[in-house]
Amino acid sequence: MWAVIMAGGKGSRLRPLTCYLPKPMVPILDKPCMEYTIQLLKRHGVTDIAVTCQYLSHAIKNYFGNGHDFGVNLHYFDETEPLGTAGSVRNAAAILTEPFLVVSGDALTDFNLLEATMFHREKAALATLVLTRVEVPLEYGVVMTADDGRILRFLEKPSWGEVFSDTVNTGIYILSPEIFDLIPAGEVCDFGKDVFPLAMKEGRPLFGYVANGYWSDIGNLSQYRQSQFDMLNGRVNLSINGHQVSENVWLGENVHLDAGVQVRGPVFIGNGTTVHERAIIGPYTILGQYNEIESDATIDHSILWSGDFVGRSTNVSGATLCSKVQVGNGVDVLEDSVVGDKTRIANLAVIRPGVKIWPDKTIEEGTIQQSSLIWGNSMFASLFGEDGISGIPNYELVPEMVSLVVAAYGSCLKAGSSVTVSCDENPYSTILKYAAISSLMAIGAKVRDIGVVPVPVVRYEIRRSVANGGVHIRSVGSGDEKRMVVQFFDADGLPIDKATERKVENAFYQEDFARPGQLSLGKIENATEIVRFYMDEVLSRVNVDLIARRHFKIVFYEETTHVPSVMLPILQKMGCNVVMLWKHSDNIGKITRDNNADLGIELTGGGQHIRFYTEKGRQVSVEELLVLQMLIAVKERVPMAVPVTAPAEMEELSELNGIPVVRTKTIMRSLLEVNAATPLQIHYDGFYATASLLNFLVGEQMSLNEVVERLPMFHMHTEVVKCPIRSKGRVMRRLLQEMKGEQLQLIDGIKILTDKGWALILPDSERAQFKIVVQGSSPEALEELTQMYRDKITAFQKAPQEASQDVHQDVHQDASGLSTG
């Protein structure tokens, strides 16, 4: 049987470890990761191996050669340009005439590949995906299988709202040669994104085999470290080089430990390494070959590759040092810092936690290095959040970082693209805007600076000007909660999609930006009268004269100044009398009622989010606002995008009025893309939503309170349930298993439909929690459904062995109570 090792990965998220090495060659306990893969294949009798290479392939070929020294036969297939996972394997199609294995050269596993192969043959499968269960499945392909293993659902790198299981694709496949019918020659093609979805669509036999054992994708610096600690703890059934001299200490050949050296396992020390007197080698330390540790140094929870020198009285704690790093005396290298090859750190320097230093750098004596040298990694676990990229101003979100992120975004657009750039009135937003403009021009983009404007104006202007995208920078929160947000938009004025976010992240981590010559640099245009164009569009879509005759009195609050500068002229042109609140109040409804106003308006989020208050001071709920928007859509005869959290009555109104309802995810892009071609949308546009509501009220000749009181009555409740991030995928899988046979919707999270109402279980995209949204047919049904799914989420957070332990403890406690009672 043949195997294919995919060894073309750049490992951009592992930089600076992979600046000089391809990802499969990154050492795990002083041995390249790919060597463990070869040993595993050999253990299962697979010795004919094709290796697909692309990035720094010479490093792989020089180390492994033809494979004979490792007991296998290696055949190399080079990509001149990246072809994706499936495209690279297709290069070896000529020799793969029988079922074959595909494994990754940059993952660590001890799976029984023979059992997976037998499963493939028994099922007569076109493809068998080897699966495992992980705590946080966001970076993998999530898979749902039937009882016989047939794959029912597959989603590549989902958001939390799309996670329906913690069972993921490991990137290990058993494939029949007919798979090549689905892989076009010479084209970029991925198994997860292209081949397997196509196979499912065509009804091909696609199966998943859940393997027992250890698997770790060495995808980031944290996982790289943890995988080695797992090996020291004996969690991985793979051989460790060296002699085990005590229960958890391994030494290579010619290791020299001076008298007085303390070694506290688990520890691995490679060939030829010397440790001098009184040095302390603490737990979870991995020292590669030919390192020298001077006297009184302390190293713990750290990984040193080969040829490193650590000076006297130096402390290396929780860090990773690549090869030939020189560390002086009295230095502190602290948690989660990474030091690239051939870097020199002089005496008494301090490398702060989380700092990344690229190869060949020099840190001068006494330097306190607080930021990364050559920024190629973010301090964020994930670059993008719900609203874009956010961080603390001038600490997390600094001009240098924004410049690089925007350059990464611009590099994902076509050469010479036009990008609209704007910000709010915050002074630091302006600083970051100039950093963004400079960066875009440097990569050859044409910049349209439209100044200080709210977000809905930005989105409208991108569409109006036929720009290729946009960048908007604004502040949120106040005091200790103040943050800056950088939002990115596509040519339709929509937030960029998840696929584009990943492209931006990859370009950012790799610093892979276009750098044209001076004659091709971008130009800047300062666009004017943008707000006027937008206001004219808003007013053109309502009956201004009819609204003006109503003489609405409106209480209005917005915490910024640039949003009122748009809203007030719109309201004034519609003949409204506006009571402006310049200081926030927790009781805008009471102020509305006390001023005998027709309605109150509160705008937040740069004009994107709106709250309405009736003339009687009542706040219009989120659900009521959605129904109101549905009624407005009826007047405008446009499809209505509603999130999965909206009440079931939306469908009834849809049928009654002949306006289609499109259920979407709860995120902004999903709601907006339903009507992406229209100039303005009610969703996430407080200005147009207000004008549309006033137009609706005058058309119906009713007050806002009268309209709200006539809306259908529904019983809804939203609740947050805490859940560790590592348990979210397990909870989703257990819910789906238990709900088998029930009526479900998997648009965003899991929505269970019952005769008593419905419940939506939605994992939070950023926080360690679930959101439960419930609609009941009665208050009692509402409470029952909420309690039921609250309890399930709490119970399913625990692994099966934890749950059984709890049962045992409960029984023991009951027995104890009886005996003492």
The pLDDT of 232-244, averaged and rounded, is: 89
CB 763: neighbour CB atoms within 10 A? 27
Whole-Å CA distances, 349 to 317, 327, 369, 716: 14, 9, 8, 58
Could you read off the pLDDT of 147-200 as tens digits, one per residue? 888 888 877 777 777 777 788 889 899 999 999 999 988 888 988 889 998 998
What three-state secondary structure class fits 544? helix
Residue 237 predicted with pLDDT over 70: yes
The pLDDT of 459-463, averaged and rounded, is: 94
Nearest CA to 649 out of 669, 666, 629, 679 is that of 629
Nearest CA to 605 out of 704, 496, 463, 472 is that of 472
* Separation of alpha carbons 666 and 671, rounded Å: 7
Could you read off the pLDDT of 20-32 as tens digits, one per residue? 889 999 999 999 9
What own/partner pairs with CB < 8 Å and gap ≥ 24 does 742-751 have? 745/644, 745/663, 746/153, 746/162, 746/164, 747/644, 747/663, 747/664, 747/665, 748/161, 748/162, 748/643, 748/644, 748/664, 748/665, 748/666, 748/667, 748/670, 749/161, 749/644, 750/164, 751/644
Q: What is the pLDDT of residue 392?
A: 83
Q: What is the pLDDT of residue 347?
A: 92
**DSSP class of residue 93?**
G
Q: β-strands 769-776, 757-763: how paired?
A: antiparallel
Q: Where does 81-240 have alpha helices with state H?
A: 84-90, 113-123, 196-201, 221-232
The pLDDT of 260-284, averaged and rounded, is: 94
The pLDDT of 481-489, averaged and rounded, is: 90
382: confidence class by pLDDT, cuts 50, 70, 90: low
Residue 443 near residue 407, CB atoms below 8 Å: yes
What own/partner pairs with CB < 8 Å and gap ≥ 24 does 72-76 have? 72/38, 72/41, 72/42, 72/46, 72/47, 72/48, 73/47, 73/48, 73/49, 74/49, 74/50, 75/48, 75/49, 75/50, 75/51, 76/50, 76/51
* Separation of alpha carbons 468 and 59, rounded Å: 40
Q: What is the pLDDT of residue 431?
A: 96
Whole-Å CA distances, 126 to 147, 151, 184: 18, 12, 17
Rg of the chain, C-alpha, whole Å: 30
Could you read off the pLDDT of 739-766 as tens digits, one per residue? 888 898 888 899 999 999 999 999 987 7
The pLDDT of 383-402, averaged and rounded, is: 85
Nearest CA to 608 out of 661, 685, 497 is that of 685
Q: What is the pLDDT of residue 15?
A: 85
Residue 815 predicted with pLDDT over 70: no
Q: Which residues contact 316 (CB under 8 A, 6 or more apart)?
A: 297, 298, 299, 300, 302, 304, 310, 327, 333
* Separation of alpha carbons 449 and 455, rounded Å: 14
What three-state secondary structure class fits 222? helix
Residue 571 near residue 556, CB atoms below 8 Å: yes
Q: What is the pLDDT of residue 377?
A: 36
The residue among 729 and 430 whose pLDDT is bigger is 430
511: confidence class by pLDDT, cuts 50, 70, 90: low
* Separation of alpha carbons 380 and 810, rounded Å: 41
Residue 625 near residue 635, CB atoms below 8 Å: no
813: confidence class by pLDDT, cuts 50, 70, 90: very low
Q: What is the pLDDT of residue 310?
A: 96
CA 623 from centroid of its chain's CA atoms = 28
β-partners of residue 489 are 470, 495
* Separation of alpha carbons 295 and 458, rounded Å: 61
Could you read off the pLDDT of 4-25 as tens digits, one per residue? 999 887 777 888 888 888 999 9
Overall size of the chain counted in residues: 821
Could you read off the pLDDT of 309-347 as tens digits, one per residue? 999 999 999 999 999 999 999 999 999 999 999 999 999
398: confidence class by pLDDT, cuts 50, 70, 90: confident
Q: Where does 73-179 have alpha helices with state H?
A: 84-90, 113-123
Could you read off the pLDDT of 783-806 as tens digits, one per residue? 999 999 999 999 998 766 544 444
As a whole number of angstroms, the longest Cα–Cα distance in the chain is: 95
Task: Give phi and psi for 812, each to the nearest 5.
Answer: -65, -40
* Separation of alpha carbons 440 and 526, rounded Å: 15
143: confidence class by pLDDT, cuts 50, 70, 90: confident
* Separation of alpha carbons 401 and 393, rounded Å: 11
The pLDDT of 132-142, averaged and rounded, is: 79
What dihedral angle (degrees, nearest 10) is formed by the CA atoms of 667, 670, 674, 675? Answer: 60
39: confidence class by pLDDT, cuts 50, 70, 90: very high
379: confidence class by pLDDT, cuts 50, 70, 90: very low
What three-state secondary structure class fits 633? helix
Q: What is the pLDDT of residue 421?
A: 97
Q: Which two tokens stand for residue 364?
A: 């001068």
β-partners of residue 350 are 332, 368
Helical axes 686-700 vs 530-540, angle rounded to 10°:
20
Q: β-strands 292-293, 262-263: how paired?
A: unpaired
Q: What is the pLDDT of residue 469?
A: 95
Mean pLDDT over the full length of the chain: 88
Please list, residue by residue across 288-322, b when 16 or more beta carbons sit within 10 angstroms of its beta carbon and e when fewer do.
bbbbbbbbbbbbbbbbbbbbbbbbbbbbbbbbbbb
What three-state secondary structure class fits 174? strand
* Separation of alpha carbons 616 and 619, rounded Å: 9
Nearest CA to 645 out of 739, 760, 735 is that of 760
